[in-house]
Amino acid sequence: MRLPICLFDAKTGILCPKCEGKFKSGHLTKTDVDLSIKLSGLQVKIPELDKTTLLHALEVDGDLALVMGKGDHDILRKNHRVFRNLEKEVGRKIWVVEGETSDRQVLEDIFFPIKILMVNVVWLPDGSKLTKVIVPGRKTKRFPLDLERAKSVVKAIRGIDLIVEFERS
Ligand SMILES: [Zn+2]
């Protein structure tokens, strides 16, 4: 597994001078370090982690957003068993997105397993913009996503101001 800190640091829980420097200069956060140590320790229980790259970890309203390498959403999020284990072991609600990809892809990753019907950018008179996601069908009680939380995560990861509408009201 690739992590924002050295593998050795993650295994021992002690940062080397180089990583310590990145931490002090703000290039690494405490969440990056803590989650690197945590995930490194989970590789035996969740071997799928071995093939993934953690770029950055953010804490959003108590949840954890993992910004990962290319293809890692498929490995960690789309595999129901792996994802359930990961959330159980970390003890938090987890959101997985990929770092080097489009806004649209990040939104699709956040909304998974809900499919997005359409994404529109809405410009406001003051020049700021909102991103509107339209979800198929109508909102039911069984809708699996916490939309307010999803909005906070998207804002924290990509700076996107999100509004969500359902196709039918
Ligand atoms: Zn290091």
* 73-100: pLDDT as tens digits: 999 999 999 999 999 999 999 999 999 9
Confidence of residue 146 (pLDDT cuts 50, 70, 90): very high
**How much distance in Å is there from the Cα of 67 to the middle of ligand 1?**
19
94-118 b/e with 16+ CB inside 10 Å = b? bbbbbbeeeeeebbbbbbbebebee
CA 18–ligand 1 middle distance (angstroms): 5
**CA 17 to ligand 1 centroid distance, Å:** 7
C-alpha 50 to ligand 1 mean position (Å): 18
Q: Is the dihedral of CA 64, 45, 43, 100 positive or negative?
A: negative
The alpha carbon of 74 and the centre of ligand 1 are apart by a number of angstroms equal to 28
This prediction's pTM: 0.93
Predicted local distance difference test score (pLDDT) of residue 129: 94
Residues 39-46, mean pLDDT to the nearest whole number: 96
Confidence of residue 108 (pLDDT cuts 50, 70, 90): very high
**What token pair was written down for 108?**
């699709």
Distance 69 CA to ligand 1 centre (A): 19
Query: How much is the pLDDT for 62?
Result: 94
Give residue 50's pLDDT: 96
Q: How confident is the model at residue 109 (pLDDT cuts 50, 70, 90)?
A: very high
Measured in Å, residue 38 CA sits from the centre of ligand 1 at: 15
- What fold, for 113-169? GMP Synthetase; Chain A, domain 3 (3.30.300)
Contact call for residues 74 and 108 (beta carbons, < 8 A)? no
Stated length of the chain: 169
pLDDT given at position 68: 98
Mean pLDDT (the chain) is 96
Distance of CA 78 to the CA centre of its chain: 13
Q: How close is the Cα of 9 to the center of ligand 1, in Å?
A: 5
Any residues with CB less than 8 A from the CB of 155 and at least 6 apart, and which? 161, 162
Ligand 1 mean position, distance from CA 77 (Å): 28
User: Ligand 1: distance of its center to the CA of 19 in Å?
Assistant: 4
Tell me how far apart the alpha carbons of residues 65 and 31 are, in angstroms, rounded to a whole number: 10
Sheet holding 118-123, edge to edge: 118-123, 129-135, 162-166
pLDDT band at residue 149 using 50, 70 and 90 as cut-offs: very high
Q: For residue 169, name the pLDDT band (cuts at 50, 70, 90).
A: confident
d(CA 140, CA 122): 26
